[in-house]
């Protein structure tokens, strides 16, 4: 269904704009993704938005998105650049904005055998870090991201943007720690944490498969009881004055070590 909206006070514009706030995302089960690159990555994964907003772009990727939406009977809304800017909250609006159904994979549906690496984040507070970790997960062929405790919303505009489309290629699961540990211990898998207190260098162990890489909160790191649950606690060399890396950076350095070990066979 194709239609046009040109009024700022149109209720649909207001509704979509409200999805920039977590409470409305939660209530509707919807979130916003912006830009040809991210929406195209989603389309290539077979994921189309519930609603597609554009401002008459003639870019071939926009045309491909519109065609895919029309073929699927989706809702395509042509609007003005000003209204697109209003929806996206940015001065320079993207060519397209999509409204997607949120995508949470329950713990019990995960197939742990499908990947060697899984990333588990605990109380991650920064949406940019969360999106960046999804992007890294995609790069290392991770199975998905499991969010423990009070993590920031993975469907925030900032997280979606930082993920650069990996939000659509990585599965995302929310779980309580106890439920995660019970699920983990019911099958194969090694839980690996990084800790300032660890004695072992991160390049020393031979990691098993699948690996669950546990990343702690940006400011506090992992709670002690979570560290105690880990099968391996390792540390990265820190030669300078600082005692920690950015959470997304630490995750990537560990994840590439795991990947490099798998590549060596």
Task: Report the C-alpha gap between 145 and 212 in whole angstroms.
Answer: 10
Binding mask of the shown chain, residues 41 to 80, with x at each position contacting a copy of itself by CB under 8 A: x--xx-----------------------------------
Site for a copy of itself in 189-208 (CB under 8 A): 203
The CA-CA-CA angle for residues 213, 158, 5, to 5°, reads: 140
On whether the CB atoms of residues 102 and 77 are closer than 8 A, the answer is: no
Phi (first) and psi of residue 82, to 5 degrees? -60, -40
Stretch that binds a copy of itself, among 13-21, 147-155, 204-212, 233-241 (CB under 8 A): 233-241
Binding mask of the shown chain, residues 118 to 157, with x at each position contacting a copy of itself by CB under 8 A: ----------x---x--xxxxxxx----------------
Cβ 258 to a copy of itself shortest distance, Å: 12
Phi (first) and psi of residue 189, to 5 degrees? 145, 140
Task: Report the C-alpha gap between 93 and 26 in whole angstroms.
Answer: 24
33 counts as binding a copy of itself under rule CB under 8 A: no
Reference 217, options 146, 127, 121; nearest CA is 121
Which one of residues 12, 64, 104, 164 is an interface residue with a copy of itself (CB under 8 A)?
164
On whether the CB atoms of residues 45 and 36 are closer than 8 A, the answer is: no
Stretch that binds a copy of itself, among 15-23, 62-70, 86-94, 231-239 (CB under 8 A): 231-239
245 counts as binding a copy of itself under rule CB under 8 A: yes
Q: Any bridge partners for residue 201, and if so which? A: 235
Stretch that binds a copy of itself, among 4-12, 20-28, 83-91, 245-253 (CB under 8 A): 245-253
β-pairing, 51-54 vs 75-78, is parallel
On whether the CB atoms of residues 248 and 136 are closer than 8 A, the answer is: yes
Which one of residues 94, 169, 171, 174 is an interface residue with a copy of itself (CB under 8 A)?
169
Phi (first) and psi of residue 165, to 5 degrees? 100, -15
Q: Which residues bind a copy of itself (CB under 8 A)?
A: 41, 44-45, 128, 132, 135-141, 162, 164-166, 169, 203, 236-242, 244-246, 248-249, 252-253, 256, 259-260, 263
């Amino acid at each position: 269904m194709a239609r046009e909206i040109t009024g700022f006070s149109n209720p649909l514009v207001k509704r979509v704009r409200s999805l920039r706030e977590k409470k409305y995302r939660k209530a509707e089960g919807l979130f916003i993704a912006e830009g040809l690159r991210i929406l195209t990555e989603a389309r290539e994964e077979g994921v189309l938005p519930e609603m597609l907003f554009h401002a008459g772009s003639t870019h071939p990727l926009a045309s491909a998105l519109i065609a895919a939406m029309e073929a699927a009977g989706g809702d395509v809304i042509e609007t003005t650049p000003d209204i697109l800017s209003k929806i996206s909250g940015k001065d320079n609006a993207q060519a397209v904005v999509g409204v997607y159904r949120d995508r949470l994979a329950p713990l019990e549906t995960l197939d742990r055998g499908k990947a060697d690496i899984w990333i588990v984040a605990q109380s991650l507070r920064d949406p940019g870090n969360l999106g960046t970790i999804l992007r890294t997960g995609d790069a290392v062929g991770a199975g998905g991201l499991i969010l423990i405790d009070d993590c920031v919303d993975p469907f925030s505009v900032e997280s979606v943007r930082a993920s650069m489309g990996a939000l659509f290629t990585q599965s995302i699961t929310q779980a309580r720690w106890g439920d995660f540990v019970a699920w983990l211990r019911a099958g194969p898998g090694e839980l690996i944490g990084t800790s300032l207190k660890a004695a072992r260098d991160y390049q020393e162990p031979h990691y098993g498969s699948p690996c669950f890489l546990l990343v702690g909160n940006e400011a506090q790191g992992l709670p002690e009881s979570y560290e105690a649950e880990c099968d391996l606690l390792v540390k990265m060399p820190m030669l300078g004055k600082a005692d920690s890396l950015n959470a997304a950076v630490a995750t990537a350095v560990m994840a590439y070590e795991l990947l490099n070990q798998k590549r060596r066979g």
